[in-house]
Amino acid sequence: MTSRTPATATGARGSAFAGASGGDPSGIRDEPTRPQDATANGLGSGSVPVTGITVTRHLAAAERHASLTADVRAGLTANPRELPPKWFYDATGSLLFDRITRLPEYYPTRREHAVLAANAARIATACPATTLIELGSGTSEKTRLLLDALRNAGVLRRFVPFDVDEETLLRAGQEILRSYPGTSVHAVVGDFERHLAFLPGSASGDSGSAGGVAADRRLVAFLGGTIGNLRPETRGTFLRALRDQFHDGDALLLGTDLVKDPARLVAAYDDSAGVTAAFNRNVLSVINRELDADFDLRGFAHVAAWDPENSWIEMRLRSVREQEVSVRALGLVTRFGADEQMRTEISAKFTLEGIRAELAAAGLGTSAQWTDPDGDFALTLAVPA
């Protein structure tokens, strides 16, 4: 249904998980949406000029607003309170994350880069994909190693970055288009917890040939350890939903951070320059701006703690005093007690066997697994079992 002519709409809608679980585990009622596909040749959104790339929006302004509204209402009225990490990522949040990746304490990006650099050619040989899809793509910086390997193998035809943050997504898509002439770029603005069913080339997405890519073989990269930001049950649902989209020949390349010394882990999430603290508080700025709230960012302290039982780092925001917050778009006024903590992210750390077991439970067989020399970070290549 995707078209290379301007502003055609598709009728695709629904939850990626509907078939797998019978409901949307995010708790968001799935509003019928009309994702818009357009070969953008003007302004895609905000001030990001998009030229020559195809854009599908599952999270246009209205859907984003509805989804944020539902999450914030549920999260602020829960006990204990909790906000999903996906809302860190407006343009500022993505910029802060990018700064985190360059911090001395934050090793995962450098380690994953090393694993990719050492193994990208092997990955391209194992899965000579015509389409590289990247979930939670952000700036797609490390992804260039995969794009280079697939291009060198002479197979690459299309890149599909997929992210909730439209501005960063379109900017990255444009840069990739410039760097890889002859490769088409199809950016998808969406939530990988809800919109997986519409991946280009999947049964409910485009047919694979409509985007000019026939006999499509897809490599889905999910890098950075972002899968660790999902709870274990949500990870299972996510992996099964992805497995359901796979055809023979498709593969998943999964990046995961590995269990290690808790002191290193905590330092990676509580850096001395305070960038992670600013990233954590950014979710409050997003709510202030998009839901007309009045969170005082100075009233919330950054907390990073290792939870050995769950094998994850938790980020929280601690209310430094008793305070009242009003979220006008929700008609909600709520009180935070002094020292009350609100969870904003989990970041799970894995073992190699644990990853293989989670993939197997979702019907995915591990065909290769690599780590950096220090065993800090893993890449796993998995195919339908």
Interface ranges with ligand AVI (CB under 6 A): 100, 108, 224-226, 228-229, 269, 276, 279, 345, 347
Q: Annotation-wise, does 346 bind a ligand?
A: yes
| CB closer to ligand SAH, 156 vs 227 | 227
The interaxial angle of helices 166-179 and 91-100, nearest 10 deg, is 60
Among ligand AVI, ligand SAH, none, the one that 164 touches (CB under a kind-dependent 5 to 8 A) is ligand SAH
Residues forming the site for ligand SAH (CB under 6 A): 86, 89, 94, 97, 101, 109, 136-138, 142, 163-165, 191-193, 223-224, 226
Q: Which of ligand AVI, ligand SAH, none is residue 151 near (CB under 5 to 8 Å by kind)? A: none
136 labeled binding residue: yes
The residues facing 210 across adjacent strands are none
Shorter beta-carbon distance to ligand SAH: residue 192 or 295: 192
CA distances from 260 to 62, 180, 267, 308, 350 (A): 42, 37, 12, 11, 9
CA-wise closest residue to 312 among 346, 343, 342, 280 = 346
Annotated binding residue at 176? no
Nearer to ligand SAH, 223 or 315 (CB): 223
Name the residue whose CB lies closest to ligand AVI: 347
Q: What is the dihedral of CA 17, 19, 25, 27, to 10 degrees?
A: 100
Q: Which residues contact 192 (CB under 8 A, 6 or more apart)?
A: 16, 135, 136, 162, 222, 238
Tokens representing 158? 């299309």
Query: How far does Cα 196 stand from its chain's mean position?
Result: 11
Q: Cβ–Cβ contacts within 10 Å for residue 1, how many?
A: 18
Which of ligand SAH, ligand AVI, none lies near 344, with the C-beta cut-off 5 to 8 A by kind?
none
* Rounded CA separation 71/73 (Å): 6
Q: Nearer Cβ to ligand SAH, position 165 or 206?
A: 165
| DSSP-derived secondary structure letter, 17 | T
Report the residue number whose CB is nearest to ligand SAH: 224
Q: Enter the tokens of residue 346.
A: 């989990």
**201 or 225, CB closer to ligand SAH?**
225
CB of 138 to ligand AVI, least distance (A): 8
Question: Does 292 carry a binding-site annotation?
Answer: no
For residue 139, the minimal CB distance to ligand AVI (Å) is 12
- Alpha carbon distance 69, 49 (integer Å): 28
Q: Is 142 annotated as a binding residue?
A: yes
Q: Which 3-state string (H, E, C) describes 274-309?
A: CHHHHHHHHHHHHHHHHHCECCCHHHEEEEEEEECC
| Minimum CB distance to ligand SAH, residue 87 (Å) | 9
Residue 228: DSSP 8-state? G
The interface partner of residue 377, options being ligand AVI, ligand SAH, none and the CB cut-off 5 to 8 Å by kind, is none
* 100 contact choice in ligand SAH, ligand AVI, none (CB below 5 to 8 Å, kind-dependent): ligand AVI
What is the smallest separation between the CB atom of 224 and ligand SAH, expressed in angstroms?
Answer: 2
Annotated binding-site ranges for S-adenosyl-L-methionine: 136, 142, 163, 191-192
Which segments are annotated as binding site? 106, 136, 142, 163, 191-192, 229, 269, 345-347
Binding positions for L-histidine are 106, 229, 269, 345-347
